[in-house]
Structure 1
Amino acid sequence: MKRGFRELLIENSDSIVENWLEEISSLKTGNYTATISDELYESTNREFVNVIFTSIRNQGSSNEVEDFSEKIINLGWPLSYLTDGLQIFRRVSTEYLLSQSEQIDSNQFSMILSNVDEWVEPLIRQLVNEYSGSWENILSLQRVALQELSAPLIPVMEGITVMPLIGTIDTERAKLIMENLLEGTIKHNSEVVLIDITGVPVVDTMVAHHIIQAAEAVRLIGSTCILVGIRPEIAQTIVNLGIDLSNFPTQSSLKKGFTKALELTGREVIDLKTREADVEGIINSLKGE
């Protein structure tokens, strides 16, 4: 943008900002921002227009653009908010510059449009690129977090770990389950691993196949895998599908599975009250002798 036009915009920023705020506020009713509070919408709009004028003054990119794009993503607002706002600013700025020109001819009109575009177009590209980059980065971080939470292996006692599974199991997640299961079993030196499928809504042939593969892999590294959380409808499905689960133990609940795991590791659950009563009985018997 030529210096004269830029200085004119900056010197009259109050009028341009007022017109811009009025037009962008008119978009709120009935569009993607309809549910946003008026206070948040107004404060964000003012921050947006400040970012625009900061870019004009700096004649290029600024950190404010990156920060504002990230803020819009965190608010959950779409990219169209940014592009709509810049298109409105393009129109408002052009109209203002035209209103300040004493003589309007085709050359003057073309010059104003060209100079406004020299600034607006780069800013649109920068905002879109920053928005897209921040969005991809956030998605990547979320994907990693979800993967870490989708197949956790939890050590509950020396030699015993639990892997609770929740939600649908697809091929990609099954691969992750296998990797976490084997790495965790070795890391925690697990003798018994409980795979809890209480939260798995459907167990079909593919899901059962993946679970059997995981259990077999655990067996090959010297540990025992117990499948727990088998509800009646899941048991019926497994039988109807003809799936063979006879090679590794199964239990209907995590409690029963944990009791079995204690048994396999040479331990048992003891009722302390009962044990105390038995000890007291032995002591009383010895006193009687």
Structure 2
Amino acid sequence: MRSKWNLGSIGLKTATLFGFLFIHIPILIIIMYAFSTDEKTFQFPLPGFTTKWFGVAWERNDIWEAIILSSQVALISTFIAIFLGTLACLAVYRSQFFGKEIISFLVILPIALPGIVTGISLRSAMSLFGIPFSTWTIVIAHATFCIVTVYNNVLARLRRSSHSMVEASMDLGANPWQTFRFVILPNIATALLAGGMLSFALSFDEVIVTTFTAGQQSTVPIWMLTEFIRPRQRPVTNVVAVFVILVTTIPILVAYYLTKEDDGRKK
């Protein structure tokens, strides 16, 4: 019987631990400095512990305006992504036609490209067609990559599902809309919800694409990027960063457990 503590196992566990620490220690540092009494510099250990910066951030109107804008953009982008991503998935799934692979590639391309390339491309296109930069240009930009998360989640769910239920529904006289409503939709509901939550999290903290398409609008990430270079604003910026961590982490965790539980039921 081979020991579970052999050299390979220890090396893999050690590498996993270092990777985990490398990713999460900076997040813990940001959370820690949100409670620092020092206004200008980062010191360790902390010179003091305070929660006053949370009160300062709560009373800042510019922060609330950025949060409201980011929330509106994320919600609208998510709904657009759910609608278009689902339609694209249903069009591609189990259909054979010329250019199918090209369409699939074009759908997932925005999330594969570097954000700066997507941002420059969208800005150039909007300038070419004379579209003024506003909240809606941010929504359009975010929807391009949010669609991918919904598309991938729904497509993966459909590939794991039995198509015989759809065929049975059609054989029993149901029209395409009834089949979608009573057979397909309940089957992909958790995948839609998980994809929507991931889309919301991606949109809420997106900064690169937003920078190129926002104009004078200031979302939370852009506000943080602007304020962080001001030394006296760093504690408040760290407080907002803690808020962003919560807003983006919770939907991702919920999406993870939704897909995990569904996978468990499928087995």
> TM-score with structure 1 length normalisation?
0.28
Q: Return the index of the structure with the highest Cα Rg.
A: 1
Structure with the larger strand share:
1
The structure, 1 or 2, with the larger RCO (C-alpha pairs under 8 Å, 6+ apart) is 2
> TM-score with structure 2 length normalisation?
0.29
